[in-house]
Chain A
Amino acid sequence: MKLDRKLFSKEVILFHQDIATQDEIFEKLNENLLAKGVVNDGFLAAIKKREKNFPTGLKLESGFGVAIPHTDPEFVNEDQIGFISLNKPIQFRQMGSDTEVVEAKMIFILCLKEAHKQLDMLQNLMTLFGDDAKIEKLYACKSIEEFLNLIS
């Protein structure tokens, strides 16, 4: 149940942000990912569109809400995960549903070039989502070092 620290090497890890809309989340993450060369110019438009058509909110067993936005590999230069935790939850639609919404408080943005090679990572991320205590700790987390120790 470990995520490779390399996937967070660009340190796009933002804690307890005050953000009011889903668009703002994507803009903030995109700005950071773009500056570090993880994604290309088409990423922002693609991720917004993709989330609209194929929502990625997930309500976990404890009721905690997360979202795992991701898009086609052509907008990604390097495998990486960006993270943002929010002071106030923002609504995402539940994955696979046209009616349910999730109050998401943590966003893991998955920038993947070839997901097939990242199967372990994706499975480990899902295992992490099943660990209520760890999810609470991640949400409370305030430093990148602490964050990396929790996930890896």
Chain B
Amino acid sequence: MKKLMVMCGSGVATSTVVMGKLKSWLADQGLDKKVTLYQSKVAEEVNHLDDYDVVVSTTLVPDNVKDKVINGVPLLTGVGANKVYDKIKEEIEA
């Protein structure tokens, strides 16, 4: 089981939207049985991102963890969303 963390600034608004999109996308891809979704705020997770296989954020994260984090903003607006889904899929299957 892969662990996928979705974070935003408050852990309630934009991450909730991304969670909803990812839930339906994972089901469409037949990946929903392979992935557990978690949701939180950046401030609470930033020091233990290694606990997760995939990390998606709608807000800026500190430079030292940038490489680990996928920018989830395109999933909100739809602009460039496919690239983000591809990247997430790649990391789930890695």
Contact = CB atoms under 8 A, between A and B. Distances in A.
Same complex: yes
Interface of A: 50, 53-56, 58-61, 68, 70-73, 94-98, 110, 112, 114-116, 118-119, 122-123, 126, 129-130
B88 to A, nearest CB: 15
A98 B73 CA distance: 13
Nearest to B75: A126
Contacts of A112: 12-13
A122 B13 contact: yes
B61 to A, nearest CB: 9
Given A96-B71, A97-B60, A123-B20, A115 B79 contact: no
Contacts of B72: 96
B27 to A, nearest CB: 15
A128 to B, nearest CB: 11
Given A61-B77, A123-B20, 20 more contacts: A53-B9, A58-B76, A60-B79, A61-B78, A71-B10, A73-B12, A94-B73, A95-B76, A96-B58, A96-B59, A96-B60, A96-B71, A96-B73, A97-B60, A97-B71, A98-B60, A112-B13, A116-B12, A119-B16, A122-B13
